[in-house]
């Protein structure tokens, strides 16, 4: 399981890479392994308003659907167009080519609620 140090995480297995007042969002290597095979990914649209905790991405896998909650409140500024035609990128490259979307966040205090690498690993191991 690869869990980079330079990212922030949610207990629901999303990662966030801060870049100024935006964050790039994806799913962790841990989640992609749990889902086994990703068949389709439904992404939010550019301009969508997201609220922390609301489902924003739906991932179809052999066992059904996994709904990923928004890690922060804000607006979607960009989506990864490659995911629509090649959802397998989420599995083969979850931290690089398989990113899901980028968003401007409204409240920097929400960033403080995200987990660092060590805390995420500790929480993820409790699930197993």
Number of structural domains (the chain) is 1
126 pLDDT above the threshold of 90: no
Contact 108, 52 (CB under 8 A): no
The answer to the question of residue 40 being in a domain is yes
| Residue-range definition of the domain harbouring residue 35 | 8-127
The candidate with the shortest Cα–Cα distance to 14, out of 125, 114, 128, is 114
Reported as a single tens digit per residue, the pLDDT across 21-60 is 999 999 999 999 999 899 999 999 999 999 999 999 999 9
The pair of structure tokens assigned to 121 is 């690993």
Reported as a single tens digit per residue, the pLDDT across 83-95 is 999 999 999 999 9
The answer to the question of residue 1 being in a domain is no
Contact 99, 78 (CB under 8 A): no
The answer to the question of residue 72 being in a domain is yes
Length, in residues, of the chain: 128
E strand or H helix at 29:
helix 29-35
User: How many other β-carbons are positioned within 10 Å of the β-carbon of residue 118?
Assistant: 10
């Amino acid at each position: 399981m690869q869990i980079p140090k330079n990212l922030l995480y949610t207990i629901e297995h999303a990662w966030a890479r801060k870049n100024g007042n935006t964050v790039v969002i994806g799913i962790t290597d841990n989640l992609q392994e749990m889902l086994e095979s990703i068949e389709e990914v439904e992404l939010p649209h550019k301009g969508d308003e997201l609220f922390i905790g609301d489902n924003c991405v739906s991932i179809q896998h052999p066992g059904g659907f996994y709904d990923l909650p928004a890690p922060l409140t804000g607006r979607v500024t960009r989506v990864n167009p490659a995911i629509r035609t090649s959802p397998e990128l989420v599995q083969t490259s979850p931290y690089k080519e398989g990113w899901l979307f980028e968003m401007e966040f409204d409240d920097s205090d929400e960033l403080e609620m995200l987990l660092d690498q060590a805390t995420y690993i500790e929480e993820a191991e409790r699930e197993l």
